[in-house]
């Protein structure tokens, strides 16, 4: 286990490509899910300076706030509610270019303008979601979706 991380420069794709091996090394020897989520959130926040990045864990019929970096967040989200609850219900990544246009969006912060949510899968079930918010409109794209899916896949090992 290597508890270190080096910020990488370059295009978004180059940053993600360089980040993945570092994240593998960081979480590879640690079996605790919450500890790994905490380190992943910290690395993503440091690398990309996202407004908010963190995890919500599935507990019963709700998502419960887990490790995150950023301002205070919503604590509980019902299945099918908001972007996170909808991504959980659909079992698919969601990219929202403008959160104000998303039906039922839960505004934990008025500063959040766009969002991406990636389900964390284990044995075919959603066990958590990675939620990333930006203070800019249209901040996330398919590059983010593809690489963040690889990031969260590190948690299902």
Asked if the structure places residue 4 within a domain, the reply is no
In tens, the pLDDT along 91-150 reads: 999 999 999 898 777 777 678 899 999 999 999 999 999 999 999 999 999 999 999 999
Contact status, residue 77 vs residue 56, Cβ threshold 8 Å: yes
Measured CA to CA, the distance from residue 147 to residue 157 in angstroms comes to 17
Residue 149, exposed/middle/buried by CB under 10 A (0-12, 13-18, 19+)? middle
pLDDT at position 23 over 70: yes
Asked if the structure places residue 107 within a domain, the reply is yes
Asked if the structure places residue 64 within a domain, the reply is yes
What pLDDT is attached to residue 106? 73
Contact status, residue 155 vs residue 25, Cβ threshold 8 Å: no
Domain total of the chain: 1
Asked if the structure places residue 23 within a domain, the reply is yes
Asked if the structure places residue 120 within a domain, the reply is yes
pLDDT at position 24 over 80: yes
E strands, the chain, where? 52-59, 62-69, 76-78, 94-96, 114-122, 125-134
In tens, the pLDDT along 72-102 reads: 999 999 999 999 999 999 999 999 999 989 8
Asked if the structure places residue 85 within a domain, the reply is yes
Asked if the structure places residue 99 within a domain, the reply is yes
- What range does the domain containing 149 cover? 12-156
Asked if the structure places residue 22 within a domain, the reply is yes
In tens, the pLDDT along 37-71 reads: 999 999 999 999 999 999 999 999 999 999 999 99
CATH, residue 43: 3.30.450.40
């Amino acid at each position: 286990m290597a508890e270190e991380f080096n910020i990488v420069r370059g295009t978004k794709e180059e940053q993600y490509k360089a980040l993945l091996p570092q994240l593998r090394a960081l979480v590879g020897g640690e079996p605790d899910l919450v500890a790994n989520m905490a380190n992943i959130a910290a690395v993503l926040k440091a690398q990309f300076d996202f407004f908010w990045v963190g995890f919500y864990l599935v507990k019963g019929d709700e998502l419960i706030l887990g490790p995150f970096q950023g301002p205070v967040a919503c604590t509980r989200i019902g299945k099918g509610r908001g972007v996170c609850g909808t991504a959980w219900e659909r079992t698919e990544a969601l990219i929202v270019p403008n959160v104000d246009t998303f039906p039922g969006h839960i505004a934990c912060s008025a500063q959040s303008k766009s969002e991406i949510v990636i389900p964390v899968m284990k044995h075919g079930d959603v066990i958590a979601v990675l939620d990333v918010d930006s203070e800019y409109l249209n901040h996330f794209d398919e590059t983010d979706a593809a690489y963040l899916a690889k990031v969260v896949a590190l948690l299902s090992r």
